[in-house]
Structure 1
């Protein structure tokens, strides 16, 4: 009986061995990702060089560079000294826009896209337009030049804008409505 108990304890102890880590059969060095990053950097640099070339051909226009990696100019700038408010997180903005290629060929003409009501940073909107709206005041019209990674990126808009396409967007900001919670608290 003792012999059976000893064997049982040995089998029990052997079966309670802690699990060993499993290692991958093959390891990738990450070279594919590194190559992809390099390709994207080159593509962005080429797009930005092309945009700068187009801007250089337009000597009568005063282009401004944003800290977010795109360029813009004012078609209509507010001269009202009391109109200093730009949209904040949660504000609702009412705007319309048209989109064209960097060369000026219309993609979505004025009025083709309906007037938008957008809650700042709480709804989906392509990156460049979301960042551009934050620079605007009520009543202003601004033309933005976006590299593809600030526009619709690799996938395009699945309608008229293709993959990796830099665009120009002409935006008119009609109204900024304070976030509803802010109005109650004021």
Structure 2
């Protein structure tokens, strides 16, 4: 009996040991994130070089570099000196646009996309086009060159635009209804 009691006591004391931490079989550093960031920088540099080459070959248009990381030129610029309004947060803009690859192959041809009414910064629209609309005045037509991060990025549009595709987008801005106009109409 004493032997059974002694064995039980040893078993109980041995099982009361504090738990030990389990270590992962394989440890990872931040190398995946660093590699991904480097791939994205390389992709951006390659796309910007392609766009710069396209700009150098096009002597008919005067390209402007935006502070948002894309390039554009005016197909039709407003000559009306009283037309100084550009779209801001909450304004309603009405526009048409077409999308093509940088080499001019149409992805969505002119007239294929319906005229769009868009509440600035309150609805979903790809980043470059959202920022481009803020640069335009009523009646203007502008062609934008977007690197893929300004366009549809890694996911594409899940229809015709694939992964990491830089785009040329031609936009005609028909009207801007400012937020103050919206409030007085309601």
TM-score normalised by the shorter chain: which range applies? Answer: 0.7 to 0.9
Provide the TM-score with structure 2 as the length reference. Answer: 0.84
The C-alpha deviation readout for 1:11-38, integer Å capped at 9, x for no partner, is xxxxxxxxx9x78635421100000000
Structure 2: state its 5+ residue gaps: 1-18
Q: What SS is found at the alignment partner of 2:149?
A: helix
* 2:144 match: 144
The C-alpha deviation readout for 1:120-160, integer Å capped at 9, x for no partner, is 00000000000000000000000000000100101111111
| Aligned residues between the structures | 167
Q: CA, structure 1 residues 24+147, in 2 after alignment: closer, same or farther (shift >3 Å)?
A: farther
Provide the TM-score with structure 1 as the length reference. Answer: 0.84
Report the RMSD for the aligned CA atoms in angstroms: 2.1
The C-alpha deviation readout for 1:66-104, integer Å capped at 9, x for no partner, is 000000000000010000000010001000000111011
Cα distance in structure 1, aligned partners of 2:181 and 2:143: 31
* 1:83 match: 83
Cα distance in structure 1, aligned partners of 2:95 and 2:27: 50
Q: Work out whether 1:55 is the aligned partner of 2:72.
A: no
Q: CA, structure 1 residues 114+148, in 2 after alignment: closer, same or farther (shift >3 Å)?
A: same
Q: CA deviation at 1:59?
A: 1.2
Cα distance in structure 2, aligned partners of 1:58 and 1:81: 28
* 1:102 match: 102
